[in-house]
């Protein structure tokens, strides 16, 4: 298909790890991104991974890339209330950036 797919909702208990999954479409995509959107705000780049990498770690964030399956995941360790937001997966395809519909992360106390 043409779409970047991700689940729409995820609930996680505070302190647990959150894992947000995404499938993308174009095996020739050079960069894959995770953006975070807080209520009423624009999108902020959270992290990205270049297509020749399998994993990238940045403090509490771990990105895993499986090029064979075109699968991307974002793991947030020790999830905090401030992590409550919508997370968008995106791929760089030709001159465009194509976004998934976003995963709303809800933190349970």
Partner 1 sequence: NAGVTQTPKFQVLKTGQSMTLQCAQDMNHNSMYWYRQDPGMGLRLIYYSASEGTTDKGEVPNGYNVSRLNKREFSLRLESAAPSQTSVYFCASRLWDTEAFFGQGTRLTVV
Q: Is 64 in the site for partner 1 (CB under 8 A)?
A: no
Q: Is 87 in the site for partner 1 (CB under 8 A)?
A: no
CB of 83 to partner 1, least distance (A): 19
Among 7, 11, 17, 44, binds partner 1 (CB under 8 A): 44
Q: Is 92 in the site for partner 1 (CB under 8 A)?
A: yes
Long-range contact set of residues 77-86: C-beta below 8 Å, sequence gap at least 24? 77/17, 78/15, 78/17, 79/12, 79/13, 79/14, 79/15, 79/16, 79/17, 79/18, 79/105, 79/107, 80/14, 80/107, 81/14, 81/107, 83/18, 83/107, 85/36, 85/37, 85/38, 85/39, 86/36, 86/37
Q: Where on the chain is the footprint of partner 1 (CB under 8 A)?
A: 8, 30-31, 33, 35, 41-45, 48, 88, 92, 95-102
């Amino acid at each position: 298909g043409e779409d970047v797919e991700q689940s729409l909702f995820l609930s996680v208990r505070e302190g647990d790890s959150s894992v947000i999954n995404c499938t993308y479409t174009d095996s020739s995509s050079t960069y894959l991104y995770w953006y975070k959107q807080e209520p009423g705000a624009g999108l902020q780049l959270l992290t990205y991974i270049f297509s020749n990498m399998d994993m990238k770690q940045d403090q509490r964030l771990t990105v895993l890339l499986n090029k064979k399956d075109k699968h991307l995941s974002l793991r947030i360790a020790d999830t905090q209330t401030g992590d409550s937001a919508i997370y968008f997966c995106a791929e760089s395809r030709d001159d465009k950036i194509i976004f998934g519909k976003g995963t709303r992360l809800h933190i349970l106390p």
